């Protein structure tokens, strides 16, 4: 049985509602929440880690942390999405720090799109390979900021919340990350005419 929540105190978004129900003991709500969050979370973790094989482990760790700290979530301070993103990013960054990935990103390789012709597909694959190789050399927080901004389309404020930083710091992370990527890509282009 779920506790009564006055209408003006009910969460506005379905993820927060599911989480609060799960925290109250509703196992079906927890399962539904995990199903809703899992796919997008694995994609984000894969971009942050640069290693799709490790992404699922990071997401599982994040779900464990979410459940372990469920009592600390306060819906009055915001929706679950921002809190979840921060837990997920922390798990991914911790995983990256722990493993210090020895395998370069090139090993993952891009997934070619079957629609373009062979020449276009080769150019796209080469560009993606160079970008992944350049991203592999970025510090994890710059990489996470770029993945959240360009991959997820988050605002500076949302990224700042997820990374536990200020919007100004996120701007700096993005600027430094882009500058490093441009320099690395230009150097690679100079080596390969």
Rounded to two decimals, what is the model's pTM? 0.55
Q: Are residues 43 and 97 in the same domain?
A: yes
Residue 177 covered by a domain: yes
Residue 130's contacts (CB-CB under 8 Å, 6 or more residues apart) are 185, 188, 189
Structure confidence at residue 101 as a pLDDT band (50, 70, 90): very low
Q: Are residues 29 and 80 in the same domain?
A: yes
Give the CA distances from residue 6 to residues 3, 9, 10, 85, in Å, rounded to whole numbers and listed in that order. 10, 5, 7, 27
Distance in angstroms (rounded) separating the CA atoms of residues 182 and 110: 20
184 pLDDT exceeds 70?
yes
103 pLDDT exceeds 90?
no
Structure confidence at residue 77 as a pLDDT band (50, 70, 90): confident
Q: Are residues 143 and 69 in the same domain?
A: no
Q: Are residues 141 and 180 in the same domain?
A: yes
Domain count, the chain: 2
Determine the pLDDT at residue 152: 83
Domain final residue, candidates 48, 81, 103: 103
Q: Are residues 86 and 130 in the same domain?
A: no
Residue 111 covered by a domain: no
> Residue 167, Cβ neighbours under 10 Å: how many?
14
What's the burial of 86, exposed, middle or buried (CB within 10 Å: 0-12/13-18/19+)? Answer: middle
pLDDT in tens, 23-66: 999 999 999 999 999 999 998 888 888 777 888 889 999 999 99
CB 159 within 8 A of CB 148: yes
Q: Are residues 36 and 60 in the same domain?
A: yes
Residue 62's contacts (CB-CB under 8 Å, 6 or more residues apart) are 41, 45, 84, 87, 88, 90, 91, 92
CATH number (domain holding residue 53): 1.10.1740.10
Helix axes 118-136, 167-191, angle to 10 degrees: 120
Residue 28 lies in domain: 10-103
Average pLDDT, the chain: 81
Q: Are residues 70 and 136 in the same domain?
A: no
Q: Are residues 99 and 120 in the same domain?
A: no
Distance in angstroms (rounded) separating the CA atoms of residues 25 and 161: 28
């Amino acid at each position: 049985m779920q506790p009564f929540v006055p209408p003006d105190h009910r969460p506005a978004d379905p993820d927060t509602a599911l989480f609060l129900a799960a925290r109250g003991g509703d196992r079906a709500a927890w399962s539904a929440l995990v199903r809703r969050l899992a796919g997008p979370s694995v994609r984000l973790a894969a971009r942050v880690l640069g290693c799709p094989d490790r992404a699922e482990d990071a997401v599982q760790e994040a779900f464990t942390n979410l459940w372990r700290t469920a009592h600390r979530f306060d819906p009055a301070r915001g929706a679950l999405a921002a809190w979840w993103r921060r837990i997920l990013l922390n798990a991914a960054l911790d995983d990256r720090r722990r493993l210090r990935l020895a395998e370069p990103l090139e090993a993952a390789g891009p997934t070619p799109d079957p629609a373009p012709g062979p020449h276009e597909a080769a150019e796209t694959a080469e560009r993606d390979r160079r970008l992944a190789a350049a991203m592999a050399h970025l510090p994890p927080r710059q990489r996470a900021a770029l993945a959240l901004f360009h991959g997820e389309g988050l605002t500076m404020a949302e990224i700042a919340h997820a990374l536990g930083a200020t919007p100004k710091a996120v701007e700096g992370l993005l600027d430094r990350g882009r500058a490093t990527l441009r320099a690395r890509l230009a150097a690679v282009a100079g080596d390969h005419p």
